[in-house]
Chains A and B, each alone.
Chain A
């Protein structure tokens, strides 16, 4: 079974920059996995931030950006704000059967 790993938690200062990553337990992440990123804050449904590695979803500010860094997918938040605090999830697609696998999520604290 495919396992996708993320940092369990991260902390960033207001105005700071943070990069969250998404890795495969076995193998490297590439654009062929169509990495996407989602934010969930308490009491809210998930919000789509990034799809297809680096395309921002409609209405997402440009301080959110996606990339491939080495063997991982990455989400970088530049100029972090208090309301960026929440849980961030990556999803990779296994194109053999077009199944989606969520990473375990990263809880981001802004303080």
Chain B
């Protein structure tokens, strides 16, 4: 069974940095593309970004609102993905979800989801 467990969400002040994690189990993590998606209070879901598997180049891509401030990395030996968030703003307050991107039938979509971790940015 696929399991994704996010952790590391806390209360931080504007301008600070934070790294959150997603621990994976139940599937071949090293071969998987992984994503971060967030939902801010009162708003809809927003794609944060993706990291491809190393075999596919390990490259990253980001949504416009976080480009240049957030970065995604992975440690395949620990089956864990990370989201480094710098220069956090109040608008970054959200529940952050990690998701798989299974690429079944060569289609792009989000497969399994974690339960999410809450990041609160407030002074």
Q: Which residues of A pack against B, CB within 8 Å?
A: 1, 34, 36, 38, 40, 45-48, 51-52, 55, 57, 87, 89, 91, 93, 97-105
Contact = CB atoms under 8 A, between A and B. Distances in A.
A55 B105 contact: yes
Contacts, number: 70
A55 B107 CA distance: 10
Contacts of A104: 44
B114 interface: yes
Interface of A (DSSP majority class): strand
A1 B64 contact: yes
Contact of B110 (A48, A87, A101, A105): A48
B108 A93 contact: yes
Nearest to B114: A45
A1 B99 CA distance: 23
Contact of B47 (A1, A40, A101): A101
Contacts of A45: 97, 113-116
A100 B47 contact: yes
B47 A47 contact: no
Given A40-B39, A46-B110, A91-B110, 18 more contacts: A36-B110, A38-B45, A45-B97, A45-B114, A46-B37, A46-B97, A48-B110, A51-B104, A52-B104, A55-B105, A57-B111, A91-B109, A97-B61, A98-B108, A100-B35, A104-B44, A105-B44, A105-B45
Contacts of A91: 47, 109-110
B108 A48 contact: no
B97 to A, nearest CB: 6
Nearest to B33: A98
B41 interface: no
Contact of B61 (A36, A51, A98, A102): A98
A104 B45 CA distance: 7
Contacts of A51: 104, 107, 109
A38 B113 CA distance: 11
A49 B118 CA distance: 24
Contacts of A102: 37, 44-47
Given A34-B108, A52-B109, A89 B44 contact: yes
